[in-house]
């Protein structure tokens, strides 16, 4: 199953949904505080930002992908994009 492209594409969609859910959860838990209502979303962005220099830029260079594409896809999808790229399951 982990070698299946559709499995990873499903997880990528899940990453996008997670962004929306993190905003909704924050607004539900902290309705009166604009900063705290975005805390889960900000945490998710920080997590994905940390992946860029740690892992995804190296993998992107190895695959010959432009840095802008690597940054964009890592911010959107996180490990659900770079891990199957590294394993050769997806091309870009």
Q: Is the pLDDT of residue 11 over 80?
A: yes
> Where do we find the tokens 């911010």?
75
| Surface-to-core class of residue 79, CB atoms within 10 Å of its CB (0-12 exposed, 13-18 middle, 19+ buried) | middle
Q: Which tens digits make up the pLDDT trace of 20-56?
A: 999 999 999 999 898 999 999 999 999 999 999 999 9
Q: Is the pLDDT of residue 81 over 90?
A: yes
Q: Is the pLDDT of residue 92 over 90?
A: no
Mean residue pLDDT across the chain: 94
* Residue closest to 21 by CA, chosen among 42, 46, 40: 40
Looking from the CA of 76 toward its CB, the CA atoms found within 13 Å total 11
Compute the Cα dihedral for 14, 27, 39, 70 and give only its sign: positive
């Amino acid at each position: 199953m982990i070698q299946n492209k559709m499995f990873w594409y499903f997880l990528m969609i899940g990453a996008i949904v997670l962004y929306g859910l993190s905003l909704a959860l924050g607004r539900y838990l902290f309705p009166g505080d604009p900063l705290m209502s975005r805390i889960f979303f900000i945490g998710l962005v920080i997590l994905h930002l940390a992946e860029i220099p740690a892992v995804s830029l190296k993998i992107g260079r190895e695959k010959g992908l432009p840095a802008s594409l690597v940054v964009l896809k890592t911010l959107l999808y996180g490990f659900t994009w770079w891990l199957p790229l590294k394993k050769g399951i997806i091309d870009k």
